[in-house]
Amino acid sequence: MDVKAAVAFEAGKPLEIATVQLEGPREGEVLVEIMATGICHTDEFTRSGADPEGLFPAILGHEGAGIVRDVGPGVKSVKPGDHVIPLYTPECRECEYCLNPKTNLCQAIRTTQGKGLMPDGTSRFSFEGKMLHHYMGTSTFANFTVLPEIAVAKVREDAPFEKICYVGCGVTTGIGAVINTAKAEPGCNAVVFGLGGIGLNVIQGLKLVGANMIVGVDLNNDRKGWGERFGMTHFVNPKEIDGDVVSHLVELTGGGADYSFECIGNTTTMRQALECSHKGWGESIIIGVAGAGQEISTRPFQLVTGRSWRGTAFGGARGRTDVPKIVDWYMDGKIEIDPMITHVMPVEQINEAFELMHHGESIRSVVTF
Ligand code: NAD
Ligand code: AHE
Ligand code: ZN
């Protein structure tokens, strides 16, 4: 079938709207009509060429929501008409990883997913007879996409697509990092680096668990109001403090953060996040993804003296199990999504959404088809 897609033909170039061809679902696969998709900084990371796993040409996008329109042989858990959120972290419930309660990183299809292919090693997308790569197993920058059955979470039908698409990455990643990864306790002190689409959800998660001090760090002063809107208690702009930001944060938190979260993807702030965590017990959680060739460093003494450096993907969430619950939390008013979706636009304007992100003017842009 012909589908409308925003195609990344080359690294570093704007996306191009094109009519591309999509094959129907094969065994264990589903065809989903994407109704809305958010634009996460990870899409920009890959579009820019910084992603060591980036493949071109590709259909990017991993924060979508839509409706199942067809299923391949053997599909049992969803049917045409079901509302779903695509999962870049699938949940097969059978692999060694799914069976280990310590991780959400289902590995059932990770190898082919990283090669931009479906689990059978082929692509469903093509343009003018030439193969296009899938992306993160989701490719939501198209009005139809094909996904493995294990990579869709069935959600309630009264939830609006333009809002719940954000649960497909940002909301779950931020809140999940607090609840599933850090397992932050009521009364904890936390520092959040980067108050964008992910960091604000970390703040929302910290507020939910009853954190005491929630310090936000960002270079953009406009983010102060945004952080406060979701529960931030203190704001630090590193450009506006005298001296070293780590010492400042350690002093502000009375000895260091119980938990710190890096939501930027910058190896310098990753180090600062670790080093502002509390001696003896502080845990620093890396959420941001850093470009090809970049590495983190610190004095080993930071770890010897009891700080832990950790990381999280998709907020430690098991998608088919946890995503429907997070949608319920939103629908029940337990968490907020609407104010963070600052821009909604047709897919034809998708490059403007990337510009808004670059200029710090959006929290989340959502495109519709
Ligand atoms: P964003 O662009 O919306 O937000 C980034 C924020 O960081 C902005 O507010 C910006 O002003 C701030 N910032 C940039 N440089 C800074 C610096 N040096 N010091 C302080 N603040 C700075 O991005 P996002 O969508 O929130 O994504 C954040 C990061 O998380 C990205 O690296 C993204 O790829 C990653 N991510 C990871 C996961 C995961 O599962 N681990 C999931 C989603 C996103
Ligand atoms: N391809 C990059 C890594 C990118 C990355 O870490 N992705 C996160 C999700 S970011 C969502 O916005 C993730 O899920 N990681 C686990 C995994 O298996 O990819 C690189 O550096 O190669
Ligand atoms: Zn994302």
Q: What is the pTM of this model?
A: 0.98
**How much distance in Å is there from the Cα of 297 to the middle of ligand 2?**
20
Which of 62, 220, 264, 285 for mutating ligand 1's site (highest number of atoms within 8 Å of CB)? Answer: 264
pLDDT at residue number 262: 99
**How much distance in Å is there from the Cα of 52 to the middle of ligand 2?**
10
Fold for 2-168+337-368, please state it: Quinone Oxidoreductase; Chain A, domain 1 (3.90.180)
Q: Is the CB of 39 under 6 A from ligand 2?
A: no
**Nearest ligand by distance to the CA of 286:** 1
Q: Is the CB of 314 under 6 A from ligand 2?
A: yes
Q: Among the options 92, 233, 267, 268, which is catalytic?
A: 92
**How much distance in Å is there from the Cα of 130 to the middle of ligand 3?**
27
Q: Report which protein residue has its CA nearest ligand 1's atom 23.
A: 41
Tell me the average confidence (pLDDT) per consecutive run of 10 residues in the chain, 369 residues long.
98 98 98 98 98 98 98 98 99 98 98 98 98 98 98 98 99 99 98 98 98 98 98 98 97 98 98 99 98 98 98 98 98 98 98 98 98
Q: Among the options 69, 110, 234, 248, which is catalytic?
A: 110
Q: Report which protein residue has its CA nearest ligand 1's atom 15.
A: 264
Q: Among the options 47, 62, 133, 320, which is catalytic?
A: 62
Question: What is the chain's Cα-based Rg?
Answer: 20
- Supply φ then ψ for residue 98, to 5 degrees: -60, -30
Report how far residue 250's alpha carbon sits from residue 265's, in angstroms, rounded to the nearest whole number: 21
SS3 of the chain: the string is: CEEEEEEECCCCCCCEEEEEEECCCCCCEEEEEEEEEECCHHHHHHHCCCCCCCCCCECCCCEEEEEEEEECCCCCCCCCCCEEEECCCCCCCCCCCCCCCCCCCCCCCHHHHHCCCCCCCCCCEEECCEECECCCCCCCCECEEEEEHHHEEEECCCCCHHHHHHHHCHHHHHHHHHHHHHCCCCCCEEEEECCCCCHHHHHHHHHHHCCCEEEEECCCCCHHHHHHHHCCCEEECHHHCCCCHHHHHHHHCCCCECEEEECCCCHHHHHHHHHCECCCCCEEEECCCCCCCCCCCCCCHHHHCCCEEEECCHHHCCHHHHHHHHHHHHHCCCCCCHHHEEEEEEHHHHHHHHHHHHCCCCCEEEEEC
253 included as an active-site residue: no
- Whether the bond between 57 and the residue before it is cis, its omega within 30 degrees of 0, is yes
CATH number of this structure's domain 175-312: 3.40.50.720
Q: Is the CB of 201 under 6 A from ligand 2?
A: no
**How much distance in Å is there from the Cα of 40 to the middle of ligand 1?**
9
Q: Among the options 46, 98, 181, 263, which is catalytic?
A: 98
93 included as an active-site residue: no
**Within this chain, domains 2-168+337-368 and 175-312 share the same CATH topology:** no
**Chain CA centroid to CA 153, Å:** 15
Interface confidence, given as ipTM, is 0.99
Closest C-alpha to 246, from 211, 282, 289, 221: 282
Closest C-alpha to 246, from 268, 226, 273, 215: 273
pLDDT at residue number 79: 98
Closest C-alpha to 170, from 64, 67, 267: 64
Q: Is the CB of 114 under 6 A from ligand 2?
A: no
364 included as an active-site residue: yes
Domains of the chain, by residue range, sit at 2-168+337-368, 175-312
pLDDT at residue number 324: 98
